Amino acid sequence: MAFSNLYSAVCRGKWFVSFREVESNLLVVDKLLERDFNSQDTGRLSEREAIPLMIATKDGRSARLGNSFSDAPQGSTAIIPVHGTMLKYGTYCSYGTTEYAALIRDAADSANISSVLCDIDSGGGAVDAIAPLVDAILYAKSKGKAVVAHCDLCASAAYYAASYCDEIIASNTISAEFGSIGVMMSFPDYAKYYENAGVKVHTIYSNLSDYKNAPFEAAKKGDYASIRDEELDPLARDFQANVRKNRGECLKQETEGLLRGRMFYAEDALKVGLIDSIGNQDYAVRRSREINAEMTINNYINSKS
């Protein structure tokens, strides 16, 4: 199942992803498409180590928990690691955003957790990987928990999700990068491969299904206009609109390429409004607690007005 989820995502997906993330995974993709994995490579999903439960306690110490956030000291900050290429479901290569989302929800439901820190180091991933993470972030905020994104690489789908957090903080001024707000799609064309193997593939559509897969069939003939217009542009417009809404007035929308795929290192990202500040994990944890305290005060004031 873990192998099949990854194979499906690679072959069918639309991607909010930095192209460097694509290139870094080309070897894995080649092995997938050639089915060059043995049983030891693929393994069973159940044999993976569970995502570690990490917290920062009130006094700033980081700690690894057992199986539940209920074991955390009162007032702790949950640290959720969102690392690597984002896929909706877990595979033998990575955890899925459904798994990260479950952790965020568990943290939000724990009386001992005061805030959530998403430790992001990702060049993005599949479009369908975003919704579970966004839903979990919004759920945590609805439970009165501040959610802060603390990031090294935070590109494309990862930035889409991070934009829903209360603040975005770069972890350093050396490698931290932000942006790649855009969408892409790729697929392999096996026509020549099968032809050389003596296999002819026949695809037949009903007379009543002339629009079915039309953009994809046109793209196989080298006409990408329909794919761009009907599949990719709507996603890109939605991505841009959500970043505008979530980042608000701090976003310098006039910056060339800002919403069209350009990447920015931390100091420039701060200038153009993609992030709120730069600091280490201790700083990010402290900010999450300050935001949580501000939220508590504002909710109390609003309840009395």
Q: How far is Cα 52 from Cα 58, in angstroms, rounded to an integer? A: 19
Q: What is the pLDDT of residue 251?
A: 98
Closest CA to 133 of 170, 105, 111: 105
pLDDT band at 41 (very low <50, low <70, confident <90, very high): very low
Q: What is the pLDDT of residue 191?
A: 83
- pTM for the complete prediction? 0.86
pLDDT at 34 over 60: no
- Out of 124-128, 165-169, 297-301, pick the least confident: 297-301
Beta strand 54-56 with 76-83 is antiparallel
Q: Which residues contact 85 (CB under 8 A, 6 or more apart)?
A: 17, 21, 25, 93, 94, 122, 123, 124, 125
Average pLDDT, rounded, for the chain: 87
Beta-strand ranges (E) seen in the chain are 14-17, 54-56, 62-64, 76-83, 113-122, 124-126, 146-155, 167-170, 177-179, 184-185, 263-265, 277-278
Q: How far is Cα 180 from Cα 243, in angstroms, rounded to an integer? A: 12
Mind listing the pLDDT tens digit for each residue in 168-220?
999 999 999 999 999 988 877 888 888 888 999 888 999 999 999 999 889 98
Hey, what domains does the chain have and what are their CATH numbers? 2-186+241-304 (3.90.226.10)
Mind listing the pLDDT tens digit for each residue in 48-102?
678 888 999 887 788 888 878 988 999 999 999 999 989 999 877 689 999 999 9
pLDDT at 242 over 80: yes
pLDDT at 261 over 60: yes
Higher model confidence: residue 63 or residue 303?
63
